Structure 1
Amino acid sequence: MKESTMPPTAYLAATGAALPGEPVGNRELGAALGVSDEWIDVFVGTRTRHFTRDLATGEIRGSLADLCAEAGGAALAESGLEAADIDFLVLATATPDRLLPTTAAEVADRLGLDHLPAYQLQSGCSGALQAVEFGRALLGAGAGAGLVLGGDVTHRHLELKPGASRLPTRELVNYVLFGDGAGAAVLTAEPAGHRVAVRGTVHALTGLGREPGQVVDWYGVGDRHSTRPMLAEDYKAIEEQVPLMAAEALWDLLGLVDWAPEEIAFLLPPQLSRRMTERVMERLPLPGAREVSCVTETGNTGNALPFCQLDRLLGQMGEGDRALALAVESSKWIKAGLALEKV
């Protein structure tokens, strides 16, 4: 097995995840939207997801800060570290609770983290891996341990009610793709806990001059009555581009750390939906790698999803096992990835 020429500056010591409420199946979601559960299954392949909004009453049962604090607390508990041991917090999200205070600052407060930098990355699906990349840089600059998180909630952007089936497809698709959730990982400068080294990271914006594949909007006082859709996707463009970009990220990672495809034991693919994951896996030349996915049960939880995959991965890795985690963000076409090794 080849030795990486890039020494790690970060280790995944522990992870945590949080999903709100009971899982919502396709039949229940279809009834709320006025579409058939068969259509949801055929179109996206997701079976269940979780929402902070109660479908029956419309009650909002939690916030992004609630979910991130739960996931972060679970990761800290598993790591065995105390709040005083954490030198920074990084949170990635496309759907913060408010513009200010940042959700990152709210989560730090709830976890008893004080007198430390708390960063918030405004990003889509690639944000979770960007958070790890940023945390790795902070550890390389002298920090000892940090907490990185990712999460998203949909209740502000998706109004779940009968009649949604009459929406344009580029808006309706979001109602069946997404779910709410949060995930977290404790990064350390020295091997600890699960002792999974971050050997390399890939992160590149590739959307120069291209139309975005996804738009998440927000309204202020001056335009709150706008008819612009809060959330829209060019699903056809995403179907075409995400598998290609995932393959590019895969080869970028393998070249960066000088690993051969047959040396990869686990693959964490991009997770827009189960159907999309199937298309992505067809293009990735890693027949010997075990797929680590969760989107079928969780829905697309945005920045939470890679952390949920990592949460499933760490307990499966044995000494010397190597894994690749990939993410593609369609908003402005961003590819990202992590190369991981159990030491």
Structure 2
Amino acid sequence: MTLQKAEVLGTGAYLPGDPITNEDVERLVGPLPEDILDGLQVGVRHWIIDPETGEHREGNCDLAYKATLDALERSGVEPAEVDLIITSTASPDYLLPPMATFLQERLGLRACSVVEVRSGCAGFVEAADIARLYLERGLKRTAVIVGSETISPLLVPVYRGVEPRKIRMRDRMNPYNFGDGAAAMVMRAAANEGDESGAGGGRGGGVLGGAIACVGGDHKPGMQIFGAGGTHAPIHRQLEAKRLIDLKVDVIESGRFTPHVITEAMRETLAATGLAAGDVDLCVLPEGNAGYLTEELAEAGLLTPEWTALQPKIFENLALVAATGSAAVPLALDHAWRTGAVKPDDLVMLLAIETSKWKYAGLAVRWTAAPPA
């Protein structure tokens, strides 16, 4: 079978509310030591909640919808042309129906293929990999892939009604670290003028290949959301907990194991596409800048020649949006496109890892979207 190729037409993004500074967060939860604050690398974040009251001003689907409209407009695509929607989120408005179905409704589509990936940081790249398989096989023509996250409601129980000085230091970190946001990408099937296998992709544009895996089969979760009406425990037991919903992060294990996961992700993505690290023009690796990554890799003895080649090409915007889960990769990618950091014919590698159960996803794309107006 002669495969088509999945080309990127454009991206879009949406951040809710006004930027919330570190000084704003300090008033809510108290200060962090300067060295820890520097390590987080976050300067501002956006939340759907009113920081003072905890009331919601928007919902997850609202963010996804606005990011999708932005992406469609910048791609020159009408909503009616979309025949595949794939979303990723770890913070849906409801357990059911999937958020993707509400996004379909908001776009005015009576019938459309929809898939939702329940994931965090790795989810958007996983979703993009699924979409490109449908496009390559000619099963669908135009796909919208969305990463959207509303983490701020999980942060409110940490500080609402509590004096900042009484909040434990470890509980203060999440409000500083996490933000809300959404970003979307539009892909379309096109005739493949390159290598039909997809490996290496020739000089043709579009997705060249990718790699996904969970490598935490022998590790405890590094990040976990408890409660929220899940079925892991009786509801009456959940109601007895100190917090109905709780976000827990294993900071120590994240620092230790993350370099191994991201290195495997990088190597497997290069292997799957037949590329060398030197071929990559831009590596979108959110939630950790090149200096921070170098430090962790060096401590783990993993500062390989591949990383040395990729270091000056790493792109992220963590300082501007904070850690945003499923939205992290597309928000950084959209920022790169809007600012001219990525241009047509550039070879872009998307790398994402997720500490929840140590997942990774990588995708290599020969960029085809024209510079945005």
TM-score by length of 1: 0.89
2:147 counterpart SS class: strand
> Structure 2: 5+ residue runs without aligned partners?
192-203, 230-234, 369-373
Q: Name the CA distance, whole Å, in 2 between partners of 1:20 and 1:82.
A: 24
Match of 2:252 among 210, 228, 236: 236
Report which stretch shifted further, 160-169 or 37-46: 160-169
Report which stretch shifted further, 96-105 or 313-322: 313-322
1:124 counterpart SS class: coil
Matched length? 336
Structure 2 equivalent of residue 3 of structure 1: none
Equivalent positions of 1:21-100 (< 5 A) are 21-36=17-32, 38=34, 41-100=37-96
Match of 2:114 among 118, 125, 138: 118
2:209 matched to 1:200? yes
Q: 1:264·1:289 contact (CA, 8 Å) conserved in 2?
A: no
Aligned CA distance change for structure 1 residues 306 and 280 (closer, same or farther; 3 Å): farther
Q: Name the CA distance, whole Å, in 2 between partners of 1:19 and 1:101.
A: 24
Aligned CA distance change for structure 1 residues 289 and 42 (closer, same or farther; 3 Å): closer
2:326 matched to 1:303? yes
Equivalent positions of 1:168-179 (< 5 A) are 171-179=171-179
Equivalent positions of 1:256-271 (< 5 A) are 256-271=272-287
2:96 counterpart SS class: coil
Q: Name the CA distance, whole Å, in 2 between partners of 1:164 and 1:329.
A: 30
Name the larger-Rg structure: 2
Report which stretch shifted further, 63-72 or 260-269: 260-269
Q: Name the CA distance, whole Å, in 2 between partners of 1:316 and 1:196.
A: 17
Letter in 2 for 1:301: T
Q: 1:273·1:299 contact (CA, 8 Å) conserved in 2?
A: no
Q: Name the CA distance, whole Å, in 2 between partners of 1:249 and 1:323.
A: 15
Q: Name the CA distance, whole Å, in 1 between partners of 2:107 and 2:290.
A: 34
Deviations 1:257-284 (A, max 9, x none): 1222222111111416898556467642
Structure 1 equivalent of residue 102 of structure 2: 106
Aligned CA distance change for structure 1 residues 179 and 213 (closer, same or farther; 3 Å): same
Q: Name the CA distance, whole Å, in 1 between partners of 2:296 and 2:321.
A: 18
Structure 1 equivalent of residue 196 of structure 2: none
Identity of matched residues, %: 28
Structure 1 equivalent of residue 242 of structure 2: 227
Report which stretch shifted further, 51-60 or 37-46: 37-46
Report which stretch shifted further, 82-91 or 53-62: 53-62
CA RMSD of aligned residues (A): 2.6
Structure 1 equivalent of residue 264 of structure 2: 248
Letter in 1 for 2:99: T
Q: Name the CA distance, whole Å, in 2 between partners of 1:270 and 1:321.
A: 18
Q: 2:205·2:345 contact (CA, 8 Å) conserved in 1?
A: no
Q: 1:196·1:342 contact (CA, 8 Å) conserved in 2?
A: yes
Aligned CA distance change for structure 1 residues 285 and 248 (closer, same or farther; 3 Å): farther
Match of 1:214 among 223, 229, 234: 223
Aligned CA distance change for structure 1 residues 260 and 149 (closer, same or farther; 3 Å): same
2:351 counterpart SS class: strand
Q: Name the CA distance, whole Å, in 1 between partners of 2:12 and 2:69.
A: 8
Q: Name the CA distance, whole Å, in 1 between partners of 2:252 and 2:27.
A: 26
1:71 counterpart SS class: helix
Q: Name the CA distance, whole Å, in 1 between partners of 2:336 and 2:24.
A: 30
Q: Name the CA distance, whole Å, in 2 between partners of 1:168 and 1:51.
A: 22
Match of 1:323 among 337, 342, 348: 348
Aligned CA distance change for structure 1 residues 163 and 232 (closer, same or farther; 3 Å): farther
1:224 counterpart SS class: helix
Aligned CA distance change for structure 1 residues 174 and 257 (closer, same or farther; 3 Å): same
> Structure 1: 5+ residue runs without aligned partners?
1-5
Structure 1 equivalent of residue 194 of structure 2: none
Aligned CA distance change for structure 1 residues 106 and 165 (closer, same or farther; 3 Å): farther
Deviations 1:82-106 (A, max 9, x none): 1221111111000001112221111
2:152 matched to 1:155? yes
2:134 matched to 1:138? yes
Letter in 1 for 2:261: M
Q: 2:32·2:173 contact (CA, 8 Å) conserved in 1?
A: no
